[in-house]
Each structure stands twice: as C-alpha cells, then as structure tokens.
C-alpha cells in the first residue's frame, strides 16, 4: 500500500537494451543486511585495539582576531582529562594552504596554528578525556581571550544593488571554478544582441547560505604508534585525504593509512578532510593512544563546509518570435580566506540553450567564514534555481508556453565552446515528461476554491565527468571474486553496482562477488563526488574484469587439460559459477589455478579520460514537472506531485538510480521552499545550527515522485555508456516549484527560499 505524501518507487520505468545482462536490474543493495543489522561500521564505530580517548572542540566566539590569552588550568584539573591541546602545544604543521599546487583537498588543513582566528567557531582548543562527558564538561572551563579584528562575513548589504556590488573594490575573479571551468566565458557579442532584443528579462536572484546536513556527522578515530598513522574517517575521496593529512602533519604519505568503508551521507561536505580529522591526528600523535573526535550537529555547521549565498544577475533577450538572442549570467559569491574554491553558478547558463550572444562571469569576495566548498550539485543546483526561473519569466514575457519556449531554443552544439554533444536528449526528456505529467491538460482551480493551483516545469542539466580510477579483481579457486578499490559508498549504492558490473562481465551471480571499498591500501579510484564515481570506478572494475578474463584465457591455453581445444574455442571461454565453459566442455576454476600453481588470480584495471572528453561536450539531461497548491488565506504551499524524466546513459541499477534522482528532487524542493542558513553579520555566526531551526523537508512535505529513465548509452562518456546521475535530480527541481508558485499566486519570489511571508507581503501590497 502506498502511504499518501511519502516518496515511493511508483512510475519508475526503464527500457534498457544492448547492455550487459545483470546491469540495470533493480536488485536490493548488497550492503543492506549489514546496515540494518548494525554490522556496518561507520567512522566513529571502529575498534583500534583499545578504547579511544574522546576529543571535544572548543570554538572561537568571534570570526577574526588574535588569541591574547588561553587558560586551560581549570579544564586540565577536571576528572578524566588527559590533555588540552591549543596552539601552544600542538605538533608542528605545514602552513595552512601549502603547498599551493596540492589543490584544496591535498593542501595543509592546519588547525590551531598560531594565535589567529579564521572564523566564528574555529577550534581554539581540543579537550581530550577518557569519556565524552568528561571532555565536554572540561571544555566549558577553557578560558580564551581574543583581541577581535574587523571582518567581512557577507557579500553585501541588502540595500546595495547588484551593479554596485559588481564594482566592489575587493571583488576578485577566481583563478578557476569548481570542476576546472573558466570563471568567465562568452560566445558572440552579448551586449549588441542584448541591445537589439525585442523582449527582455533583467532580474536578480538571490540564494542563501546552505549546509549539507548529512545524517552522519563528520567524525574521525586516529591512532599513531610513532611510525604509522591509521585513520578511520567519514570521507568521500580517500587518496586526497592521505595527501592532505600527510601535508598537514608533515608525514610521509606511505606512513598514512585512511579508511572509510561506510559513509552516512556526504553531499560534498566530506570530499576532503576537515577539523575533526586533523585534531584527532594531532592528539594521537601527542598521546600515542587512539583518539576519537566526533563533531556535534552544531559543530558541523561551523567546522565543516557549507555553501555560500549567491547573487545572480540574469539577462535574457529574445527576438519577436521568442528565440533567445542574448543570455547573460553574472554571479557574486563569498569565498573563504585562504581556501581556493569558487562555485560554477553560471555553468547551466552556458550549456542549456542556444543564443547568438552568451556571457557568463563569476566574482567572489573573500570573507571570514568557515570553509565554503562543494554542496549538493555545486554550481548547477543554485544556478538552475535562478536561471530556470528566469527562463520561465522569459517565456511569459514572450507569451509562449514554458515548455514550447525551451523546445524552441534547443542547441545543436555546445552554445559557448561549439563542441558537438556526445549525446543530447534534453528535448526528449521535456517531451516525455510533459506527456507523462499531462502538461497540455493542466487546469486552474475552480473559482472560489480555497486552494490555488499552480503548474511549473524546468530543465535539468549537469556536466558529466570521468576521473582516472583503478580497481583490482581477484579470483579464488572456488570461483568467487573479490573487487578492491578505494572507492567509497556514501549511501549511493557503490557496493551494489560494482558487484553487478563485475558479475555481468565475468558471467557470475552477484552473490559470487564481494566488493571491498574505502581503504587507501586499495587501488586509487575517483572516489564519490561530482556524479563521476559510478562511471569512473565502474569502468575501472570493468577493465579489471576484462583483464582477468584475458589472464584466464592465457592460462587455459597453457593448461594440459585444454590441449585438445582450439584457440578460437578457448578465446570464447565463459565463467559460470565456479567453472569455465569452453565449447561443450567445462573445467573447474580450481583445476585451472592448480595447473598454473596459483592460489588466486589477481589483476588490476584502470580508466582515464581520453579524446572523447576533450572533443565532446558531455552532460546528463532531465526535466521536472510540478503541480502545487497554495492556500488563499495563509499562502502555505503544498507540493502535490512531481514528474521527473532523466537521460543519463546506462542505468546500472534501477532501484539505486531512482533513489538518487528522487533524493535530488527532494533537495530541489528544499532549496525552493525550506533551506536557509541564517547569518548574524555582527558576529559572523550562523544562528540556526541544528536541524530543528535549519529547515529541510520531512516525509509529509514530499509527494510521490514519478521518476522515469530514458536509456541512451553514451560510450563516449565511458566504456559502460553511463553518465552522472547523483546530482542531476537537484538541478532544476527547485526552479520548477518556484515557477509553479508564480503560476498559482502571481508572485515571483526572487530571494530564496520561497516562504509564505514573502507571498503574503506581495498580496497585501497589491490589495492596497
């Protein structure tokens, strides 16, 4: 039975052809039993041979300044306290941000290095005690005196126009954007096309600070024996964590082992290491005992990354027929001092629709804030929130149906760089989504009805990437296979899809494949992030399986029991369970390995971007259609139904893919109607640092999400034909809801989230 207002799997359909058998099936997650039985150990749950000491972070109460005095004497006398670490007694660390060429994940993440304070909530001490309660109690007795400094914590005041802020003397052009994009990009002559446009939309949209809010808080257990550092951490990318810790702590990377076998959500906030990891490592290096640092939910809002607010100036010019001739997108966002990250907010404006003149520019303003970094589809999530809402405005200015407007402006090549698309199915997603949703049959509420009805739609575009990855596959004498790679599973189904890929390649059952992930001692993969994990690491597993098959054939050619078989017959050999099928005969894997004097057969495979990623523009595509209700008296918004159609190449697992898309759509709803990390600009402090006051959707806020896949395997993307899907559901979903709100109420809210007070204020003003 389907419970109303709860997401379900209803409507998920897949037409999957010409894909290896077993890939695409919606099998249950192979790690599911371990999780529901409590056998899956997360970062804070690992045992390192003895009970770890517990660390508690003492946070700075100002956003910038210098520590003039720190008194830990009372805290050190508290029961159970082993040590209080401060800038005065921590081990030496590499200067924060060095080496410059290591990138933001590999650079030093030094903490408590000198007397300086970088942001409100910055660690000024770590109390280490026998129990968590003792550490928390003693932390309140650390006395810190700080000489505050003048700071900037926000991009600009609300009374300043975008044009004024664009001229701010301290505004900077970032060296590059997240994903390696150029900060400024253009094609054609935007200004001349804009000046000649018949219809124009000139608007400024704003999005607030946001936080990832993963279910599992950032946590680390670290152990150091004087030679080797062993770390269990909640991470998305293992290899860069090894580099980051080695650089920070001035250690040989070969002496650093990082493990993250299960991660309770990441959403970008766990791509790299953060203060919990560095502090736990510093403490264990001093005390030579395992130390655990688990961030509280309030800690996570200041000692982990967040997304900064954005101001987006969008100008759209159309000719008399409604064709786009000018697309302009300028973005201003904050950037944390000393941390090289800038969000590609205008990426969607560069890739979605054709126009004779396109210009996209990004600027950042350095601020005294916690790290700003990737947060749930960085760039495109908030970029499409504004851009696809502005596209809706453009359609209405031209008097054209929003669906037709988009279809009439489809590009036949990348609108900015001119590259051909590896595949382009946005129009197909729009048409199928409209048909399934009943877009042409939508109708308003009856006159006098208590609830207003609104309908909205938006396109979804997300860049597709491939990251160099490696994997190892080992076959034992029973015919069982073990896959090893340092890839992580952040709740997205990596264990399951990699098992499916290996099983499909080797002719095995999924139950015959064991996948081991999340250890730095395993081959280096892409890790999880940027929607590149499944395609990148999956292709590496496929390559390893193909190499394993080649090795099997080599040994078959040399095996005495196969001497009577032709080379052609051996070349077509297939694995089936614990046996090898050749022509009409079969041989046990055990006999083959015995004849080769091997206990196991172990090979590696890898993948990396090639010419197709240099020569073709690659994106995943989708479309969202939404129906909402708005109360005439209170302006309360209810999302009634959502239809989402996605084109992302090969689908590895129908169930996990649908879950990812639907989860993304929920975040899109959240961006449109709920989330806002509120900042007190006097103190540089976030005021709603918990999940009671930082509002996200709950089950009753989310309707059934009707999710459909259009299968177009894209083998220019990777050998499996897949494309990124994890973040695509977020892109455009919020804009579709915003467009539906306008359709229902006549109120265009350009400062997200759309809360009822903003609608009521406009209604009251119109009522006079």
Catalytic residue ranges = 727
Question: Rounded to the nearest 10 degrees, what angle do helices 238-249 and 275-287 cross at?
Answer: 50
Q: How far apart are CA 673 and CA 668, in angstroms?
A: 9
Kindly provide the residue ranges of all beta strands, DSSP E only, lying in 303-440, ordered along the sequence: 306-307, 310-318, 324-336, 357-367
In degrees and rounded to multiples of 5, residue 142 shows phi and psi of -85, 125
Q: Are the beta carbons of 515 and 493 closer than 8 angstroms?
A: no
Q: How far apart are CA 356 and CA 523, in angstroms?
A: 46
Peptide bond into 729 cis (omega under 30): no
Q: How far apart are CA 18 and CA 305, in angstroms?
A: 42
Peptide bond into 753 cis (omega under 30): yes
Q: Are the beta carbons of 635 and 763 closer than 8 angstroms?
A: yes
How does strand 324-336 pair with strand 310-318?
antiparallel
Q: How far apart are CA 459 and CA 735, in angstroms?
A: 9
Cβ neighbours around 120 below 10 Å, total: 23
Q: How far apart are CA 464 and CA 621, in angstroms?
A: 10
In degrees and rounded to multiples of 5, residue 313 shows phi and psi of -95, 115
Q: Are the beta carbons of 535 and 717 closer than 8 angstroms?
A: yes
Q: How far apart are CA 440 and CA 628, in angstroms?
A: 16
CA distances 305 to 186, 214, 234, 695, Å, are 30, 11, 14, 18
Structural tokens at position 728: 């695509």
CA distances 520 to 227, 562, 615, Å, are 17, 39, 33
* Cα dihedral value 41, 43, 47, 48, nearest 10: 140
Question: Which positions ≥6 away from 303 have C-beta within 8 Å?
Answer: 57, 59, 121, 122, 123, 218, 274, 275, 276, 295, 370
CA 679 from centre of chain: 23
Kindly provide the residue ranges of all beta strands, DSSP E only, lying in 170-213, ordered along the sequence: 185-187, 199-207, 210-211
Q: How far apart are CA 742 and CA 587, in angstroms?
A: 68
Q: Are the beta carbons of 106 and 243 closer than 8 angstroms?
A: yes
Q: How far apart are CA 214 and CA 299, in angstroms?
A: 13
Q: Are the beta carbons of 110 and 96 closer than 8 angstroms?
A: yes
Structural tokens at position 358: 């396109």
What does the DSSP 8-state code read for residue 519? B
């Amino acid at each position: 039975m389907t419970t109303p207002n709860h997401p379900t799997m209803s409507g998920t359909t897949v037409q999957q052809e010409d894909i290896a058998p077993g890939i695409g099936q919606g099998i249950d997650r192979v790690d599911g039993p371990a999780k529901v039985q409590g056998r899956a150990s997360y970062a804070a749950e690992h045992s390192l041979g003895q009970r770890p000491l517990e660390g508690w972070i003492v946070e700075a109460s100002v956003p910038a300044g210098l520590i003039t005095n720190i008194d830990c004497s009372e805290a050190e006398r508290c029961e159970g306290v082993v040590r209080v670490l401060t800038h005065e007694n921590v081990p030496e660390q590499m200067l924060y941000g060095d080496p410059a060429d290591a990138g933001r994940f590999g650079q030093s993440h030094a903490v408590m290095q000198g007397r300086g304070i970088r942001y409100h909530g910055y660690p000024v001490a770590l109390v280490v005690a026998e129990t968590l309660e003792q550490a928390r109690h003693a932390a309140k007795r650390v006395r810190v005196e700080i000489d505050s400094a003048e700071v900037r914590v926000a991009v600009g005041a609300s009374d300043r126009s975008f044009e004024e802020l664009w001229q701010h003397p301290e505004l900077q052009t970032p060296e590059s954007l997240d994903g390696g994009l150029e900060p400024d990009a253009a094609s054609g002559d935007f200004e001349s096309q804009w000046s000649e446009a018949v219809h124009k939309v000139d608007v400024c949209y704003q999005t607030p600070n946001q936080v990832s809010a993963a279910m599992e808080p950032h946590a680390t257990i670290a152990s150091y024996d004087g030679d080797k550092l062993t770390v269990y951490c909640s991470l998305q990318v293992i290899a860069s964590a090894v580099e980051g810790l080695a650089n920070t702590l001035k250690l040989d990377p070969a002496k650093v082992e990082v493990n993250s076998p299960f991660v309770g959500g990441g959403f970008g906030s766990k791509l790299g290491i953060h203060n919990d990891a560095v502090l736990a490592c510093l403490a264990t290096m001093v005390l030579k005992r395992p130390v655990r640092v688990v961030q509280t939910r309030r800690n996570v809002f200041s000692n982990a990354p967040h997304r900064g607010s954005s101001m987006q100036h969008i100008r759209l010019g159309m000719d008399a027929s409604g064709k786009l001739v000018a697309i302009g997108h300028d973005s201003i966002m904050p950037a944390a001092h000393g941390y090289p990250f800038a969000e590609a907010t205008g990426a969607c404006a560069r890739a979605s629709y054709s126009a004779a003149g396109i210009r996209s520019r990004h600027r950042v303003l350095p601020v005294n804030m916690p790290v700003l970094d990737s947060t749930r589809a960085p760039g495109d999530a908030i970029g499409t929130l504004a851009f696809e809402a502005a596209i809706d405005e453009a359609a209405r200015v031209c008097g054209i149906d929003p669906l037709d407007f988009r279809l009439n402006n489809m590009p036949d090549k990348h609108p900015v760089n001119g590259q051909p698309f590896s595949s382009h199915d946005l129009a197909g997603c729009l048409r199928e989504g409209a048909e399934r949703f009943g877009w042409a049959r939508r109708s308003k509420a009856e006159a006098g009805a208590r609830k207003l009805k609104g309908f909205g739609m938006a396109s979804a575009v997300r860049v597709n990437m491939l990251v160099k990855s490696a994997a190892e596959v080992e076959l034992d004498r029973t015919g069982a296979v073990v896959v090893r790679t340092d890839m992580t599973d952040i709740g997205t189904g990596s264990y399951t899809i990699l098992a499916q890929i290996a099983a499909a390649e080797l002719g095995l059952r999924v139950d015959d494949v064991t996948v081991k992930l999340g250890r730095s001692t395993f081959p280096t993969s892409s890790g999880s992030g940027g929607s590149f994990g499944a395609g990148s690491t999956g292709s590496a597993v496929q390559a390893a399986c193909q190499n394993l098959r080649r090795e099997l054939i080599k040994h078959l050619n040399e095996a005495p029991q196969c001497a009577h078989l032709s080379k052609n017959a051996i070349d077509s050999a297939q694995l089936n369970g614990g046996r090898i099928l050749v022509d009409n005969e079969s041989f046990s894997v055990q006999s083959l390995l015995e004849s080769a004097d091997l206990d196991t057969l172990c090979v590696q495979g890898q993948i990396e971007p090639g010419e197709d990623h240099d020569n073709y523009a690659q994106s995943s595509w989708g479309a969202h259609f939404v129906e909402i209700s708005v109360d005439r008296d209170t302006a309360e918004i209810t999302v009634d139904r959502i239809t989402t159609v996605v084109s992302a190449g090969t689908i590895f697992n129908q169930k996990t893919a649908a879950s990812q898309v639907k989860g993304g759509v929920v975040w899109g709803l959240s961006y449109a109607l709920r989330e806002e990390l509120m900042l007190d600009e006097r103190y540089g402090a976030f005021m709603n640092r918990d999940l009671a006051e930082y509002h996200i959707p709950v089950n009753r806020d989310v309707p059934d999400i009707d999710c459909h896949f259009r299968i177009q395997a894209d083998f220019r993307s990777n050998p499996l034909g897949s494309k990124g899907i994890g973040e695509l559901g977020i892109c455009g979903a919020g804009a579709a809801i915003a467009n539906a709100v306008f359709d229902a109420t006549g109120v265009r809210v350009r400062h997200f989230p759309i809360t009822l007070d903003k609608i009521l204020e406009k209604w009251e003003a119109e009522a006079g």
